[in-house]
Chain A
């Protein structure tokens, strides 16, 4: 048998790799379309047969159930849509606060793991290794049943010098409330913020010009804090005290005043924060350790202080390594917040589950819930990718 020297175009298409690649892709896409059509068709006809064809009209009906905590006006006469909105806002609240606090704790623990101090180092290691290796659901149920619901009863509340009270019905902390001078003071506050921002911007530009970047955000913050403090007294003089501290106090059988946090919120919030911070700590540690020892030595030899070395040499390089896995930790925290159902916190998924039980509309609710989590995750990823690009360093 002899091989012919084939000139271009003479190869039959079923032996031409260019055509084969296209054909393979067309086949895969077609198969997926058929499978998808079959699944959707099956679902729709199945629902039809059950007498509940796919429809979102029920969302306008009255919910007829109560929700433990809500950031907006809600009662059992509100609609299912409003109930879902309450759940959605609760999810956003616990996720946002969770991300902020998990980041702070994670960075502290991550740096502590690199500490040369034996005790600090070992404590951080134990924190990370213990918490990473407990399933989150188990940990949440532990927090709910054994910690926050096991706090003393209201009449025996644990008091932290009167500033906070721990009870099995929730945690009550002192909280500022606006009073007489607030209407004036809020404008002062806004002005202070704007001036602080401008000072930060000026300092930033000065840094660009001189090459020695000041801690411009610190400058802005200090100016803001000083102006806010000074204008407090001006507002007090003009229109009375702007705010007062509202101390919680036992009135009758319950605490009134201050800010109250339910045991359910505390369980899911502390659970997510502690659990995720252990992972973030590892991300931070790995990021800092990824910068070679020679970088620190070179910075030291040039005469930079420890803080300058960290700020100008180590940190900018570590950020590149830290940001992508940090993004997935944020996404994990947001998605894990759906475990709130296990501790009774009314997040989106918990409210959705109640609606499923009550209205029997599983498919619709699950579709809405998945859509919302997907949107959240994509938005977070989008922001983090933008930030990543922003800090990505031009190297070549």
Chain B
């Protein structure tokens, strides 16, 4: 893993945050998943969200592009408030890319078609431009030779890199990663993390739900520890790893860092 100080994205936490979450609540029936989450993310900031399973961290990032609906509180992305206004929702989805745990590539389309689908149909680019940019992205994630293959022909790590390229093709201002390496074989985790590190260094605003603590230490600007639908503790990786304040954070870290 590379040297800490040089890999940090070095964002400046001044001015309006690009994502602003105030007192976000969500219920699944009677189950209170999110219990008042507050988070500000600035342009270029890399945020790592971690915590035990069922703590609401995935639900939280899925609220940011409205895959899940929050029921109380406010979420403002790039100056647009998430409400029931479908135009706002569509505008935010254009600015926010997402990478899933299970890749969710479209199995009936080639890698190239997977990547160009959004740009062609949503951004209304012509095919040549979309394919040119898709090719650049495939080179960036290191698999330009797979362009004409179908997702089923690729390894898990390659599929996840295609999924990252697909999200980037929409030229989003923000990228959300929902446990991007949890479904991967150990030897493929590294290739995906390297792509994500490169992306963080390029200045992309990222929220990453992950248990890859090496990755967090290397590139995160801020870490948030989630438990039972709340942010229990937050801070820079140094603060969280070296000097956690809360007992629950200490316990969780000791459990995942032992291995």
Contacts and interface: CB of A to CB of B under 8 A. Distances in A.
Interface of A: 209-212, 292, 294-295, 297-305, 308, 312-313, 316-317, 393-396
Interface in B62-98: 65, 67, 90, 93-94, 96-98
B153 interface: yes
Contact of B150 (A295, A308, A317, A394): A394
A299 B166 CA distance: 11
B93 A303 contact: yes
A208 to B, nearest CB: 9
B257 interface: no
A294 B108 CA distance: 14
Contacts of A297: 67, 100, 104
Interface string B99-111: 0101011111000
B105 A298 contact: yes
Contact of A303 (B106, B108, B126, B170): B170
A295 B120 contact: no
A301 B167 contact: yes
B96 to A, nearest CB: 8
A304 B108 contact: no
A313 B104 CA distance: 11
B118 interface: yes
B4 to A, nearest CB: 31
A298 B106 contact: yes
B158 to A, nearest CB: 14
Contact of A395 (B90, B100, B104, B152): B152
Interface in B155-213: 163, 166-167, 170
B256 interface: no
Q: Interface SS of chain A: helix, strand, loop or mixed? A: helix
Contact of B153 (A302, A313, A396): A396
Contact of B108 (A298, A301, A308, A395): A395
Given A303-B170, A396-B152, A212 B121 contact: yes
Interface of B: 65, 67, 90, 93-94, 96-98, 100, 102, 104-108, 113, 116-118, 120-124, 126-127, 130-131, 150, 152-153, 163, 166-167, 170
A340 B170 CA distance: 57
Given A209-B127, A304-B118, A394-B150, A295 B106 contact: yes
Given A292-B104, A300-B93, A302-B167, 18 more contacts: A209-B127, A210-B127, A211-B130, A211-B131, A298-B105, A298-B106, A298-B163, A301-B96, A301-B100, A302-B117, A303-B170, A312-B121, A313-B106, A317-B106, A317-B107, A393-B108, A395-B107, A395-B152
Nearest to A208: B127
Given A297-B100, A298-B105, A303 B94 contact: yes
Contacts of A305: 90
A58 to B, nearest CB: 56
9 contacts: A211-B130, A212-B120, A298-B163, A302-B118, A308-B121, A317-B107, A394-B150, A395-B107, A396-B152
Contacts of A312: 117, 121
A304 B118 CA distance: 7
B126 A210 contact: yes
A303 B122 contact: yes
A396 B93 contact: no
Contacts of A316: 108
A302 B130 contact: no
Given A303-B170, A312-B117, A317-B107, A212 B127 contact: yes
A228 to B, nearest CB: 31
Nearest to B116: A211
A396 B110 CA distance: 10
Contacts of B126: 210-211
B165 to A, nearest CB: 12
Contacts of B170: 302-303
B195 to A, nearest CB: 18
